[in-house]
Amino acid sequence: MATVPRPAFRQTKIVATLGPASTSAKVLKGMIEAGLDVVRINASHGNHQQDAETIQRVRSVSQEVGQPIGILYDLQGPKI
């Protein structure tokens, strides 16, 4: 996948919701290199342990690539 050059100041952001097919380090790295700015994790699916592992993986890949990535954790709502 080609790496997209990032402008110094970009007002719009690219947000992607992570699912079972997009949580591997390899896929995350490709998404970040393609321009991803923020990952969204839906708390309605999975459990806290899986979400914690996904967050750690995002942070690790973000650091490896050298690109800060925001994490949006979408809570379940009234179930909390």
Residue 59 belongs to some domain of the structure? yes
Q: Look at residue 4 in the predicted model and tell me its pLDDT.
A: 65
Residue 3 belongs to some domain of the structure? no
Q: Look at residue 63 in the predicted model and tell me its pLDDT.
A: 97
Residue 6 belongs to some domain of the structure? no
Global pTM exceeds 0.85: no
Residue 24 falls in which region: left (phi positive, over 0), alpha (psi -120 to 50) or beta: beta
Q: Please answer whether residues 40 and 18 qualify as being in contact, where contact means their C-beta atoms are separated by less than 8 angstroms.
A: yes
Residue 8 belongs to some domain of the structure? no
- Residue numbers of the domain that contains 61: 15-74
**Residues above pLDDT 70, as percent of the chain:** 88
Residue 2 belongs to some domain of the structure? no
**Using CA atoms, how far apart are residues 4 and 19, in angstroms rounded to an integer?**
23
Residue 54 belongs to some domain of the structure? yes
Q: Predicted confidence band at 9 (pLDDT cuts at 50, 70, 90)?
A: confident
Residue 45 belongs to some domain of the structure? yes
Indicate the number of domains in the chain: 1
Q: Is residue 80 predicted with pLDDT exceeding 70?
A: no
- Report the chain's mean pLDDT, rounded to a whole number: 89
What CA–CA distances, in Å, run from 48 to 20, 52, 62, 73? 15, 6, 21, 11
